[in-house]
Amino acid sequence: MPMTPLSRRSFAFSAGRALTALQATRVLGASDRVQMAIVGLGGRGRDHMDLYAAAPNCDIAALCDVDQAALERGAARVRAAGAQEPRGYRDMREVFADKRVDAVSMPLPNHWHALATIWACQAGKDVYIEKPASHNVYEGIQMEAAARRYKRIVQVGSHSRSMVHKRRAIGMLQQGLIGRIYLAKAICFKRRLSIGHAADGPVPPGVDWDRFLGPAPMRPFNPLRFKYNWHWFWDTGNGDIGNMGPHEIDMARWALQKEEAPVGVHSTGGIYGYKDDRETPNTQWAEFDYGDSKLVFEARGLLTGPEGDLRPDKDGNIIGNLFFGSEGWASLQGDGFRAYKGESRERIVNETGNDSSLPHVVNFLEAVRSRNPAHLHAGIEVGALSAALAHIANISYRTGRKLAFDPKSMRFPGDEAANGLLTRQYRAPYVVPKEV
């Protein structure tokens, strides 16, 4: 069966004209399968197709991407999994208006996370949005407000929160396994080769460049600003502290039992080892001050060795957490959890783990059915806060100084230059609204 032709309708999803949840969402019965749409079909989008194809009581009903070729590849992938042909869209607003869709899963570029989530909530859809929850601090606040107002289930793709071994590890650490934790270190030693240099050029056939840029400024098409490398430009990405960082920062914050932002932040780094067109650092260090403890993040994109007993993954990358307590230390990563205690550094825990996103997707689908956001392992309030730490670190890096931060107002006291980077100038009509 061919893909559904794209509609020519246009939608203005302002708060005043948004579809209500009752208009846009059917009521799920106990025997109904969740009808899922996947918006964004790049590398992580392919993972989402595989995950929802494997999830129980779920159908991939629709796919959406600004690239026609990606849509066609996605449809073929869903068919190959033995599923029915999904409907195809190039405008996410048409997905949100589809009353047959219950929920949307959106592995989009960072700069689209907030607006897509808000539009989906306004249209009555539940949302799985990839990490980082937002592109800036303001957006995370607005996403939380939209989820509350429209009573939507919004899960952030911090899938470590659903890994059995990591949940057990955090529980043991919080209960004093290595004493009082005074330092939690989040590590992303992931090899990042130079992206080189590229001239602006024509938009590839089948790509809607305006929709890809969305809230970001309009720029000429450049291949380095498309297909994954958008991570390394401030318009669309947040560097590795906003890419891999939210996973490990979230684990560090969880172990420290900090449900608020820090009172200070300092981040330094740069682009070392090569010169290319990227804007974000390939080497970055950030320290978050919680008064009674510290949270540290470090990214290294160049060749490096391991730290502590964190082990390289199958690609040779070293990603995980180190925790330091008054009575010992521990390491946590996708393959397991290890803890050491006392002057002899005796290993007291050695558990293996499974780095899979499927339990997180299943947790989301269960909450969609229960209608209880408290059942989520990484609801929007969790993901937005961990993303905010990455954002304020980048603000410290970009302003070149250590900054005080007020976790209640979520602002930098008396520092308007830094406060100006808490949000962005949006390009109409892709504006994150002040009133959701």
The full DSSP string for 262-292 is: -SEEEEEEE--S---S--S-SEEEEEEE-SS
From CA 358, how far away is CA 362, in angstroms rounded? Answer: 6
Contact at 8 Å (CB) between 167 and 159?
no
Residue 16: its pLDDT value, please? 36
User: Alpha carbon of 410 to those of 5, 37, 138, 260, 263: distances in Å?
Assistant: 45, 33, 9, 10, 10
Residue 82: its pLDDT value, please? 86
Cα atoms in the 13 Å half-sphere on the side-chain side of 139: 31
Residue 11: its pLDDT value, please? 30
Angle at the Cα of 201 from the Cα atoms of 199 and 207, rounded to 5 degrees = 130
Cβ-proximal residues to 84 (8 Å cutoff; 6+ apart), any chain: 1, 59
Per-10-residue mean pLDDT of the chain, 436 residues long, equals 31 37 54 92 94 95 95 94 92 97 98 98 98 98 98 98 98 98 98 98 96 97 96 98 97 98 98 97 98 98 94 94 98 97 96 94 97 97 98 98 98 98 97 96
Going through 262-371 in order, the beta strands assigned E by DSSP cover 264-270, 283-289, 294-300, 318-325, 328-333, 336-341, 346-352
From CA 267, how far away is CA 414, in angstroms rounded? Answer: 19
Residue 83: its pLDDT value, please? 86
DSSP annotation of 40: -
pTM for the predicted model, two decimal places: 0.92
Domains of the chain: residue spans and CATH: 21-160+359-379 (3.40.50.720), 164-355+387-419 (3.30.360.10)
Residue 32: its pLDDT value, please? 84
